[in-house]
Amino acid sequence: MAQRMQVAPGTARGRGMPRLGLVLLFTAPALVLYTIYVLYPVGVSMWYSLLDWNGLAAGKFVGLSNWRRLFQDQSVLSSLRNTLIILAASFAVEMPVGLLLAVLVQRLRRLGTILSSIYILPLLMSSVAVGITWSFLYNPQYGPLYYIYNNFGQQAPGLLGSPTLAIWAVTAVVLWQFIPLYMLLFNAGLVAIPQELYEAASIDGAGAWTRFRSITLPLLRRTFITASVLVLTGSLVYFDLIFVMTGGGPGNASYTLAMYIYRSAFQDQEVGYGSTIAVLLFVISFIVSGLIVRFSRLLQGD
């Protein structure tokens, strides 16, 4: 700090310490922690993905054989398919219902505020809490489903134990948990639309639907982009909920990449292969993010 006086204050560059030194001084602590927990793991995973390694003994370099295995792995395919199911359901249900609830909450004013406080409840629960509650709800032996079916003398379906239905049962819970988040997002977007626009349109004789279509929807474009980004990035990383509800099963029916990484590395002791899936997840995430940055610039026109 003693050097500060050497340079006249207000000059374009240095105000005391060399500028680069200052920048590094301020960023270094964050940079160190960030490098350890974000950058280094990505880099070293790429190396691990070339090893046959149980995590205990020394790893053996096997070149691209993990990668060859990855591209023929049914569980990877199944994970990707499940991710796509969650993704499609999120687009088709979370966004429209979120928007509907946001409009509803806004139109009901005072009552809407109370409603939205209740609607938001699922967001306050951790995914683990949500997952466990729903696995009881789905339980065919003692859950509410059992009682409903029992009234009709039928046996309740074991949704989470079914290879075809498990992923849909889990997806329904994903929707239940995250629709309120989209309600909040669209609500923030709706609040930002100037009321005068609606008033002017009403005076011109526009009905509710016309106003919604020609004012609300276009002005929510940015919010739609935001919500799409959230759907895209969020869908890649489902873990907690599925982990507690099905553990990925039955078989690999409800796997996601995140779960498969965990299982390979921490349950099957295949650290090399787990890292290969991790790198795949990273690459997909990176491509998706890159596309998002590109498209959101295009769509926003700047």
**Residue list 184-223, contact with other proteins (CB under 8 A):** 184-185, 188, 195, 198-199, 202-203, 205, 207-208, 211, 222
Other C-beta atoms within 10 Å of 46: how many?
14
Number of residues that bind other proteins (CB under 8 A): 111
Q: Does 285 bind other proteins (CB under 8 A)?
A: yes
Query: Which residues, in sequence order, are CB contacts of 270 under 8 Å at separation 6+?
Result: 53, 54, 264
The CA-atom distances, in angstroms, between 82 and each of 130, 132, 245, 249, 296 are 19, 20, 15, 12, 26
Q: 64, 88, 108, 192: which one contacts other proteins (CB under 8 A)?
A: 108
* Distance of alpha carbon 114 from the chain centroid: 27
For other proteins, give the closer residue by CB, 164 or 301. 301
Q: Does 15 bind other proteins (CB under 8 A)?
A: yes
DSSP string, 140-183: TTTSHHHHHHHHTT-PPP-GGG-TTTHHHHHHHHHHHHHHHHHH
For residue 72, which phi and psi values (nearest 5 degrees)?
A: -110, 10
Count of all residues that appear for the chain in the document = 302
State the distance between the two ends of the chain, measured CA to CA, in whole angstroms.
42
Q: Does 268 bind other proteins (CB under 8 A)?
A: no
Q: Does 93 bind other proteins (CB under 8 A)?
A: no
Site string for other proteins, 139-178 (x = CB under 8 A): ---xxx--x----------------------------x--
Q: Does 29 bind other proteins (CB under 8 A)?
A: yes
Q: In whole angstroms, how close is the CB of 220 to other proteins at the nearest point?
A: 13
Using CB under 8 A, which residues numbered 35 to 64 contact other proteins? 36-42, 44-45, 48, 55
Q: What's the CA gap between 108 and 227, in Å, rounded?
A: 23
Q: Does 65 bind other proteins (CB under 8 A)?
A: no
Q: Does 236 bind other proteins (CB under 8 A)?
A: yes
Q: 169, 246, 257, 263: which one contacts other proteins (CB under 8 A)?
A: 257
